[in-house]
Structure 1
Amino acid sequence: MRCPNCNGKDLGKIGMQQYYCWTCFIELSVINNELAIHQVEVDGSLSSLDDLFSKDERKLQW
């Protein structure tokens, strides 16, 4: 699997179906074979970045 933001492969698993990109610092969750993409804020909350990516870009590609 590659990060849809930076196209990097430096992903770490942080939970069931949840990954973190160590290159661009975003969190990826797999939901129904599609990625939900979030930015981790300073206070630890998550902000959705899904609107920045098309459905095709968020399709899971191993």
Structure 2
Amino acid sequence: MRCPHCNSRDFGKIGANQFYCWGCFMEFNVTGEDVRIYEVAEDGSLVALDEVAEAVSVESSAV
């Protein structure tokens, strides 16, 4: 298995179906065929990568 974000093999299991990648510093969940990727915020909370993409899209359209 490899990180779905950076393709690294340098990750560890941190919970049930939950992993942390040391290559890109992202967390991801694997549930069957479904994979969700999360960015770790400064306060330690998880922000889904699709939510980050939406926020960037809103910022660039506001400019």
Q: Place the TM-score, normalised by the shorter chain, in its bin.
A: 0.7 to 0.9
Which stretches in structure 2 are left out of the alignment for 5+ residues? 54-63
Aligned residue in 2 for 1:39: 39
Instruction: State the 1:38 CA deviation.
Output: 0.2
Aligned residue in 1 for 2:19: 19
Aligned residue in 2 for 1:5: 5
- In terms of fraction of residues, the more helix-rich structure is 2
Give the fraction of aligned pairs with identical amino acids, expressed as a percent: 52
Question: Could you tell me the TM-score, scaled by structure 2's length?
Answer: 0.72
Which stretches in structure 1 are left out of the alignment for 5+ residues? 53-62
Question: Could you tell me the TM-score, scaled by structure 1's length?
Answer: 0.73
Which amino acid in the other structure matches residue 21 of structure 1? C
- Are 2:5 and 2:37, in contact at CA under 8 Å, matched by a contact in 1? no
CA distance in 2, matches of 1:28, 1:14: 10
Instruction: State the 1:5 CA deviation.
Output: 1.6
- Count of equivalent residues: 52
